[in-house]
Structure 1
Amino acid sequence: MALGVLNSQEKSSLSGSAFFACNSLQYQEPPPPLRSYLCLTIFSCFCPAYPVNIVALVFSIMSRNSYYQGDYDGSRRLGRSALYVAVASIIIGLLIIAISCIVHFTTMEF
């Protein structure tokens, strides 16, 4: 062998120019999937419940920031909060739209 005797735990590149140890590459679990519900919170911003849907958007952005900083539990908790607040915002917005339509069409004079 032209390169010399290789250790059983070391591998070489195809060109044989560099060695690296397998022990230096540690297996790491992939992070859990990101659940920030950003699309849902952006959709909820079109509902007329403005203070509530802005809070949902803030929770969603905080969830993404926590995920990218490595705080997966905090990200999951904030994402769940963003989901609940966004759904509440959509329900409140639909109720506001329904009530305003009912009031508008029942007070019309013919």
Structure 2
Amino acid sequence: MSQLAPSSDFKSALDSSPEANTEDEKTEEDLLRPKNYLWLTIISCFCPAYPINIVALVFSVMSLHSYNEGDFEGARRLGRNAKWVAIASIIIGLLIISITCAVHFTKRM
């Protein structure tokens, strides 16, 4: 049995394969879509901190729009802002609900 030694033609064929060039050539389609946290901002709209909820929703929609325009870094930044504002909105809403319940159920009649 004879084994063939790897030739330069064989090696160059492997180097030009699509798997070998994935690190060097990244196109817009290859980049991952940044998260815009639209689902989180919609959920935060059910909490009673309305001005903050609207800001989170606007950041999320702006992130989606920036991605569609081709600004990937701006979409990532706006998505991160939407996430943190939505989390703050949910926390503030839960605090408002808990304070309202505490005041309502502890007052004397």
- Give TM-score, length-normalised by structure 1: 0.72
Q: Is the 8 A contact 1:53 1:86 kept in 2?
A: yes
Q: State how far apart, in whole Å, the 2-side matches of 1:98 and 1:44 are.
A: 16
The runs of at least 4 consecutive aligned structure 1 residues that moved more than 4 Å come to none
Residue in 2 aligned with 1:46? 46
Residue in 2 aligned with 1:67? 67
Residue in 1 aligned with 2:27? 28
Rate the CA distance shift 1:66–1:27 in 2: closer, same or farther, 3 A: closer
Q: State how far apart, in whole Å, the 2-side matches of 1:27 and 1:77 are.
A: 21
| Alignment: residue pair count | 84
Q: Which has the higher strand share?
A: 1
Residue in 1 aligned with 2:89? 89
Rate the CA distance shift 1:93–1:74 in 2: closer, same or farther, 3 A: same
Q: State how far apart, in whole Å, the 2-side matches of 1:98 and 1:27 are.
A: 49
Which residue identity does 1:54 align to in structure 2?
A: I
Which residue identity does 2:86 align to in structure 1?
A: A
Rate the CA distance shift 1:58–1:27 in 2: closer, same or farther, 3 A: closer
Unaligned stretches of 5+ in structure 2? 1-24
Q: Is the 8 A contact 1:32 1:72 kept in 2?
A: no
Q: Is the 8 A contact 2:33 2:67 kept in 1?
A: no
Q: Which has the higher helix share?
A: 2
How much does 1:31 deviate? 2.2
Q: Please say which of residues 26-35 and 73-82 is displaced more in the overlay.
A: 26-35
Q: Percent identity?
A: 63
**Which has the higher Rg, Structure 1 or Structure 2?**
1
Rate the CA distance shift 1:107–1:89 in 2: closer, same or farther, 3 A: same
Q: State how far apart, in whole Å, the 2-side matches of 1:102 and 1:40 are.
A: 27
Aligned-residue CA RMSD (Å): 1.5
Residue in 1 aligned with 2:17? none
- Give TM-score, length-normalised by structure 2: 0.73
